[in-house]
Amino acid sequence: MNANQARRLVVLGTGGTIAGRANRANDNVGYVAGQVAVSELVAMVPALATCPLDVEQVAQINSKDMVLSVWHALAARVAEHLDRPEVAGIVITHGTDTIEETAFLLQTVLKPSKPVVLTCAMRPATALVPDGPQNLSDAVAVALHPEARGVVVVCAGRIHGAIDVAKVHPYRTDPFDSGDAGELGCVEEAQLRVFRPWPQAVPEGAFDAAALRRLKGAAALPRVELIFSHANADGEVVRALLGQTAAAEPLRGIVVAGTGNGTVHDDLLAALKQAQASGVEVVVASRCAHGRVVPHPGQPLPDSAGLSPVKARLALALQLLEA
C-alpha cells in the first residue's frame, strides 16, 4: 500500500478542555478538563462516522499536569501507529495549555513523515457551543491531506507548525499564534489552503526511531529550569537552584527569558555566569511574545535560536539527553 492509498486514521485522546465537563452549559471556565472519553468526542462528529478510525485513550489529564510518563506513552503509541502502512495520519486530542510543548516534543523527537495533528478546544464538551467538534473535524481533514506531514496544531480553522505555535490568549476560541512565521495554513469546510512548508520529516521511514529510543530510555529528562529576567531581578533564584540538593535530578540547565533582545539584569547575569562556571548550561530566549533574539557578537549568553522560553527549555533538555 502506498502513502496515497492509506486512508485509516488513528485518534489518540489525552484529555484537556476538549474532553472537559461543566455542571452548567454556560460555564466555560469552571469545568473539569479530561472527563469525556475520546470515543465520545469522536461520536460527536458525524463526518467521522464514515472514516475508518482507530480510537485510543492514552491519558485523561489537564495538560497543565503533563508529565514525562504521558509523553512516553503518547510518543510510543504515535510511533507504533505511524509504522502501519494503512494509517494515513494521527490525530491527538490535547489540552491547549501545554499543547505547544507536546507538539514540539513529538516533532523534535519523531520528525514524522506522516501527519500528526494535535487538536483541542477552549470550551468544554458540555458548553452551549463547544468548539471541540469542529476542531476535531478540521484536524481529521488535515491528517487526511495527501501532502501533510510532521507535527501540527489545528485550532479555530488554523494550522500551526509545532516549532512556532504558542498559546497567546487564555479565553478566546482562537488562542494560538505562530508569531513572525505565520500559520502554516488553514482549513475551510474540510479544504486546506497551505501557505508554507510542512514541518521537517525524516528522509526515510515513518519517524526517527533512534531519537524515540533515547526518549523512551530516559527515566527523567535532564533537569532544566526556566526563569525570567525582570526589574529588580537579583539572581537569588539561581543561587537557590545551585544550592539545592533535595531534587531527584541534578540541575543541568537554565533557560532565562530575557528582556527584549535577550538582555538580562546585571545581577541575574552574574548568578547565571556562576551557574555556567559550575557546569550548568545556560540559554537565553526573549520574553517578548513575538520575534526572536537577534544574535550579535559579544552577547553574554548563547541564545535559543528563535525558540520561545518553554520550547527552549524542552530543546535544551532533549539536547542534554543526547549528550
Report, as residue numbers or ranges, the catalytic residues: 17
Q: Is 81 exposed, middle or buried (0-12, 13-18, 19+ CB in 10 A)?
A: buried
Please state the closest distance from residue 286 (CB atom) to ligand SIN, in A: 24
The single residue among 13, 16, 112, 130 that binds ligand SIN, judged by CB under 6 A, is: 16
Does 100 engage in binding with ligand SIN (CB under 6 A)?
Answer: no
Per rule CB under 6 A, count of chain residues that contact ligand SIN: 12
Does 118 engage in binding with ligand SIN (CB under 6 A)?
Answer: no
Does 286 engage in binding with ligand SIN (CB under 6 A)?
Answer: no
In this structure, how many other beta carbons lie within 10 angstroms of the beta carbon of residue 40? 13
Query: Do residues 144 and 9 make contact, with C-beta atoms less than 8 angstroms apart?
Result: yes
Strand (E) or helix (H) holding 90 = strand 87-93
**CA dihedral (12, 310, 301, 240) positive or negative:** negative
Q: For the window 217-256, what string marks contact with ligand SIN as x by the rule CB under 6 A? A: ----------------------------------------
- Measured CA to CA, the distance from residue 243 to residue 239 in angstroms comes to 6
Does 62 engage in binding with ligand SIN (CB under 6 A)?
Answer: yes
Does 63 engage in binding with ligand SIN (CB under 6 A)?
Answer: yes
- Considering beta carbons, is residue 128 or 240 the nearer one to ligand SIN? 128
- Considering beta carbons, is residue 45 or 271 the nearer one to ligand SIN? 45
Query: Do residues 10 and 91 make contact, with C-beta atoms less than 8 angstroms apart?
Result: yes
Does 122 engage in binding with ligand SIN (CB under 6 A)?
Answer: yes
Does 33 engage in binding with ligand SIN (CB under 6 A)?
Answer: yes
- Considering beta carbons, is residue 74 or 120 the nearer one to ligand SIN? 120
What are the residues whose beta carbons fall under 8 Å from the beta carbon of 161, sequence distance 6 or more?
A: 150, 151, 152, 178, 181, 184, 196, 198, 199
- Measured CA to CA, the distance from residue 66 to residue 195 in angstroms comes to 31
Does 96 engage in binding with ligand SIN (CB under 6 A)?
Answer: yes
Q: How is residue 74 written as a grid cell? A: 503518547
Please state the closest distance from residue 220 (CB atom) to ligand SIN, in A: 22
The single residue among 11, 17, 149, 153 that binds ligand SIN, judged by CB under 6 A, is: 17
Does 120 engage in binding with ligand SIN (CB under 6 A)?
Answer: yes
Residue with cell 537552584: 241
- Measured CA to CA, the distance from residue 169 to residue 157 in angstroms comes to 16
Please state the closest distance from residue 222 (CB atom) to ligand SIN, in A: 24
Does 155 engage in binding with ligand SIN (CB under 6 A)?
Answer: no
Does 22 engage in binding with ligand SIN (CB under 6 A)?
Answer: no
Does 93 engage in binding with ligand SIN (CB under 6 A)?
Answer: no
Query: Do residues 257 and 228 make contact, with C-beta atoms less than 8 angstroms apart?
Result: yes
Three-state DSSP state, 99: helix
Q: Which residues bind ligand SIN (CB under 6 A)?
A: 15-17, 33, 62-64, 95-97, 120, 122
